Amino acid sequence: MLITLPDLLTADQLRQCRQALVQAEWDDGRLTAGHLAVKVKDNQQLPLDHPLGRQIGDMILEALGRHPRFMAAALPLRVLPPRFNRYAGGGQYGNHIDNAIFNVPGTALRVRSDISTTVFFSDPDEYDGGELIVQDTYGEHRVKLPAGHAVLYPGTSLHRVAPVTRGTRYASFFWTQSLVRDDAQRALLLELDDAIQALTRQLPDSPELSRLTGVYHNLLRQWSQT
């Protein structure tokens, strides 16, 4: 299930973040890559303990908590603190699947990467290439969204970032452990939730709404893991 979140960040937030990211000092992204990923990873990242990363990351997490589409689609249990990368001068990240488990820096907590998220900080006309390319049973999905938009996709997906041949691509990326581990089950719950919301607008007094809402919560109760 691939879901986009339009306008996660405001124009003022984007302007402040972009100015800070452009001026930041970046590390070689391969420093955080595993023994296989290091062979295909060519980008830059903010150090995990960088104060700017924590500041912008908290802004992103606060925005996600207010975004009903994220809450409905992700059903989040834990969210790893956002990380930040920079692609320029042909930088890319070849085909890979993200690690299944991530440690939360500075804590004993671990997050299972059920859902991957990318938040774009550069507009599409600012750079050439740089598409996030996600593969699933229906083929390849090429994602290049306006600044401030985000995309969610299964952490189990094979994916890559195409080479950036002009300009610079700034983005945040992180993972969510969902209450519902299985992507197909999350998709069914989201479809049911969307139908309930539509019926609530069209037939607010229908007694069937209570029954459908009960089905939703009983499925969530059956499938959720806390």
The reported pLDDT for the residue numbered 222 is 97
The reported pLDDT for the residue numbered 129 is 97
* H/E element, 95: strand 92-96
> Which residues pair with residue 41 across a beta bridge?
93
Single out the residue of 173, 112, 120, 118 nearest to residue 147, CA to CA.
120
148 CB-side CA count, 13 A: 12
120 and 147 Cβ atoms separated by less than 8 Å: yes
The whole model's pTM is what? 0.93
The reported pLDDT for the residue numbered 29 is 82
27 CB-side CA count, 13 A: 14
The reported pLDDT for the residue numbered 30 is 83
Label the pairing between strands 76-79 and 132-136: unpaired
Residues in the chain with pLDDT values less than 70: 33
* H/E element, 59: helix 51-66
Single out the residue of 89, 153, 144 nearest to residue 117, CA to CA.
153
| φ, ψ (nearest 5 deg) of residue 86 | -140, 130
